[in-house]
């Protein structure tokens, strides 16, 4: 399954009320490192059933970005049971991303 595109309208339903850990990728189209990370994120979305993967385009969703204090991208936030449990800034590898959601 591809990463779910998340907006302020569906953030609660898709992320906070999800029944498994959610990795949320904050990105933008003009951010080179974000675009390098995207295929890794999509691959996790396609192959890992234990986590849900969501993406937030910060250009469209500045409100969500500022709500979570995002000031560097790419940033990954991990939510479990509606709680922010982990985060990481910058490009990291697939294994490191999955470790955030462990």
Partner 1 sequence: MTDIIIVGAGPAGLTAAIYAQRAGRKAVVFEASVYGGQIVNTPEIENYPAIKKISGYEFAQTLYEQAKDLGAEIKMERVVGIKDGGSVKTVVTDKGEYECRAVILATGAKNRPLGLENEKALIGKGVSYCATCDGMFFRGKTVAVAGGGNTAVEDAFFLSNYCEKVYLIHRRDEFRAHEREVEKLRAKENVEFVLNKNVTALREDGGRLCAVEVTDKNTNEKQELSVAGLFVAIGQSPDNTAFENVASLADGGYIKAGEDCLTGTDGIFTAGDCRTKAVRQLTTAASDGAAAALAASGYIDSMDI
In terms of Cα–Cα distance, which of 83, 39, 77 is closest to 58? 77
Which residue number, 12 or 59, has a Cβ lying nearer to partner 1? 59
Options 4, 14, 80, 94; binder of partner 1; rule CB under 8 A: 94
86 binds partner 1 (CB under 8 A): no
- What is the distance between the alpha carbons of residues 12 and 89, in angstroms, rounded to a whole number? 22
The catalytic residue among 3, 34, 54, 78 is: 34
What are the E-state strand segments in 1-62? 4-5, 22-27, 52-57
100: helix, strand or coil: helix
55 binds partner 1 (CB under 8 A): no
Residues near partner 1 (CB under 8 A) are: 28, 30-37, 40, 58, 65, 69-73, 75, 87, 89-96
């Amino acid at each position: 399954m591809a990463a779910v595109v998340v907006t302020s309208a569906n953030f609660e339903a898709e992320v906070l009320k999800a029944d498994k850990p959610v990795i949320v990728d904050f990105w933008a189209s003009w951010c080179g490192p974000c675009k390098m990370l995207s295929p890794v994120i999509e691959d996790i979305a396609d192959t890992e059933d234990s986590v849900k993967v969501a993406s937030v385009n910060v250009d469209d969703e500045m409100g969500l970005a500022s709500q979570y204090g995002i000031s560097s991208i790419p940033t990954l936030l991990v939510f479990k049971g509606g709680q922010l449990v982990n985060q990481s800034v910058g490009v990291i590898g697939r294994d490191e991303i999955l470790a955030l959601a462990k």
